A = this chain, B = another copy of it.
Amino acid sequence: MTQAEIEWSNTEKRVAQDALKKAYEREVESLIRRVRENASKISDLENVWQLHDFLSARRHDIDGKYDGREAFLMFTLSGLVKEGLLQLSELEGLAADKRAKVSLLTRM
């Protein structure tokens, strides 16, 4: 069964979207904190460009990471769990087989 063939109930879709939102908020909060910290420590131009490189990488990463389309949800969720932005326990509204799959994907 491909990811595209997995069916998501309306409740599950809501659970997944809520989880995505939660992870996104954590990501943004942590990013803002790090930017402020890094910026406060800047003492030369090298540090400025390090901050620029850091932001370029974070922007590229975040742009692709929150794909909420059903065909990608399993990967999106497992990626966020892997990164520590979500806990498996926050996906409790999903059917057991989906949670098992997300959990399996986090170990790959």
Interfacial residues, chain A to chain B (CB-CB below 8 A): 28, 31-32, 35-36, 38-40, 42-45, 48-49, 51-52, 55-56, 58-59, 62
Which residues does chain B contribute within 8 Å of A32, judged by CB atoms? 42-45, 48
Specify which chain B residues have a CB less than 8 angstroms from the CB of A55 in the assembled complex: 48-49, 51-52, 55
Main secondary structure of the interface of A (DSSP, over half): helix
Which B residues touch A58, using CB under 8 A? 48
A61 to chain B minimum Cβ distance, whole angstroms, is 13
Residues of B within 8 Å of A31, CB to CB, are: 45, 48
Cα-based distance from A49 to B61 in the complex (angstroms): 13
Residues of B within 8 A of A38 (CB): 39
